[in-house]
Amino acid sequence: MFKSLKITCDQATTICDKSQYGASTLLDKVKLNIHFLGCKVCSLYTKQNSMLTRLYKGHAKNCKGTKACMSKEDKEALKKELEKIKA
């Protein structure tokens, strides 16, 4: 019975990613937590991945109201640089 709950690190990271978006099942979460008991690397991966997700979501909320556009001078300078690369 317990063999069916044992997963690889690759499976653990997949479940971790799915659980952040609400796509993992209860059984997946149980398997993941059992895996954490023996694998500190996957546990650390999950913590870091969760932190990055929270940081990104916080940053994305701040940027929604901001419109970022290049000035005409910057656009012209970029065009000139691209033309140099093409030549």
pLDDT band of 87, cuts 50, 70, 90? low
The total of other beta-carbon atoms located within 10 Å of residue 32's CB is 24
pLDDT of residue 59: 73
State pLDDT tens for residues 21-68. 888 999 999 999 999 999 999 999 999 998 988 888 877 776 666 777
Range of the domain at 18: 2-86
Place of tokens 């012209």: 76
Q: What is the pTM of this model?
A: 0.62
- For residues 32 and 84, which has the higher predicted lDDT (pLDDT)? 32
Number of domains into which the chain is organized: 1
Half-sphere exposure of 10 (CA within 13 A, CB side): 0
The total of other beta-carbon atoms located within 10 Å of residue 44's CB is 11
pLDDT of residue 86: 78
